[in-house]
Structure 1
């Protein structure tokens, strides 16, 4: 996959703007709170679009949801679609949606960004489910999943599902990384990163990247009791690294190292939310070591 550098994406500007479309919480570092902090720490201006507002992650307890009316959300997205500054945008990132009817306006905005800047990237993080007791659980309406699968993923350059979201999107169940590679290869986007992939290290966890050149696994030690927001952070950091000109392997390695380092520092402090405001340096120059492996492609082939 040929990626534009930041300078190419903005006709000479240092960094392109990124439109980040996801949830907003008052307390915590999830959704756009994680993505915007990470992107801005790495030097990227962000146009932040909240799909809903929460006091905190609903996993913390009952939480009021403020979801914009569908017509109002579509009108706001229409304003952005016609904005005279759209050529500044080098990428769009989508995450959690508050309503399935927010997805079509988001897709239209991606198409408008591409028209203004053909080199712009679109990263789709299909936030619809995660690990639950006894397996994966879907916490978005089926209609939202279908809209993401049928409307957004065909537009995406990069997708970042977790293992369970990949199961929901494909209707399959996976028991090893070979199955993940096969499913990721048919998902649609030319680059797919499966978070929470099967680790080869005992007591580990990994991010699996699948593109036309093969499959790469970046893994590290699993840390129990991890705060929410790791997937949001992973998507934003990988996008930033890619926009900065890193190839897939370097971007995956740096992203995995940064997220792991921040997670380790957060849990060492005893914090219950990712401490990005304290650990911004870990985003820029992570020191954590991650194990990189090139995995066989289906049929025993290697890239």
Structure 2
């Protein structure tokens, strides 16, 4: 069965329509690409929106592989991410495997993840959020890195059949950033949400994540808007 692939004209139309619905400058989060041509279409859109003052930031999730499966896309897509998209993005959100490939170095721990992220920052982006980095005690770290600072938020590893925790983390982080949350708090907020959702899916042995339940439990409305009480708690206790 041949999968449906969104054509470039339709993709551009959808992007223009989405941007037209925004009241002010918008953030763009991009992830899986069916082909490198889609990536070039997204890049042209991002550059045009940025030049017109309509783009607040491009958040690039370079979806091309993981530790379990290796690279699972056309090598041309990996080349696009590494050579073309990365220098143009404001923030890059790779998993540990993708970070290692993009930086060309091993990433066995948090310290090496910070060094690899800074190597990417030297090529263009202002910030890197690296996910699923091995940490002491069998935990995983999500590491937020800028040129001057780094911060890690840790989660426990757990058996999980459901997929999509990385996508959810990227979306939650970008959503919080768009709402005006500072990066360190946006990281913790996103990690808390994904950790709660993954824990629930593990306990119930779900095949699909149930983020709405976690949004409600953590005090968010189902539309995904941030709860001011929860954010205030993070601001009072940023090392939560």
Q: TM-score range by the shorter chain?
A: 0.7 to 0.9
**Residues 217, 292 of structure 1: 8 Å contact kept:** no
Report which of the two has the higher share of strand.
1
Higher relative contact order (CA 8 A, sep 6+): 1
**Residues 226, 263 of structure 1: 8 Å contact kept:** no
The match for 1:161 is 94
User: How much has 1:278 moved relative to structure 2?
Assistant: 3.3
Report which of the two has the higher share of helix.
2
Task: Name which of structure 1's ranges 277-286 and 103-112 shifts more when overlaid on structure 2.
Answer: 277-286
Matched, 1:170 2:103: yes
**Residues 103, 117 of structure 2: 8 Å contact kept:** no
Output the CA distance in 1 between the equivalents of 2:198 and 2:71: 25
The match for 2:152 is 217
Which residues of structure 1 form unaligned runs of 5+?
Answer: 1-62, 294-303
Alignment CA distance shift 1:117-1:283 (3 Å) = farther
Alpha-carbon deviations, 1:167-217, whole Å to 9, x = none?
Answer: 1212222222222111101213111011011223x1211101101331111
What do you get for the CA RMSD once the two structures are aligned?
Answer: 2.6
Query: Match of 2:59, SS?
Result: strand
Matched, 1:148 2:84: no
Alignment CA distance shift 1:219-1:82 (3 Å) = closer
**Residues 80, 109 of structure 1: 8 Å contact kept:** no
The match for 1:104 is 40
**Residues 160, 205 of structure 2: 8 Å contact kept:** no
Output the CA distance in 2 between the equivalents of 1:292 and 1:173: 28
Matched, 1:76 2:10: yes
Matches within 5 A, 1:151-300: 151-187=84-120, 188-200=124-136, 202-281=137-216, 282=218, 284=220
The match for 1:91 is 27
TM-score calculated relative to the size of structure 2: 0.82
**Residues 124, 158 of structure 1: 8 Å contact kept:** yes
**Residues 5, 34 of structure 2: 8 Å contact kept:** yes
Output the CA distance in 1 between the equivalents of 2:52 and 2:180: 21
Which residues of structure 2 form unaligned runs of 5+?
Answer: 221-226
Alpha-carbon deviations, 1:99-132, whole Å to 9, x = none?
Answer: 1211110101111221233551110000000012
Query: Match of 1:120, SS?
Result: strand
TM-score calculated relative to the size of structure 1: 0.66
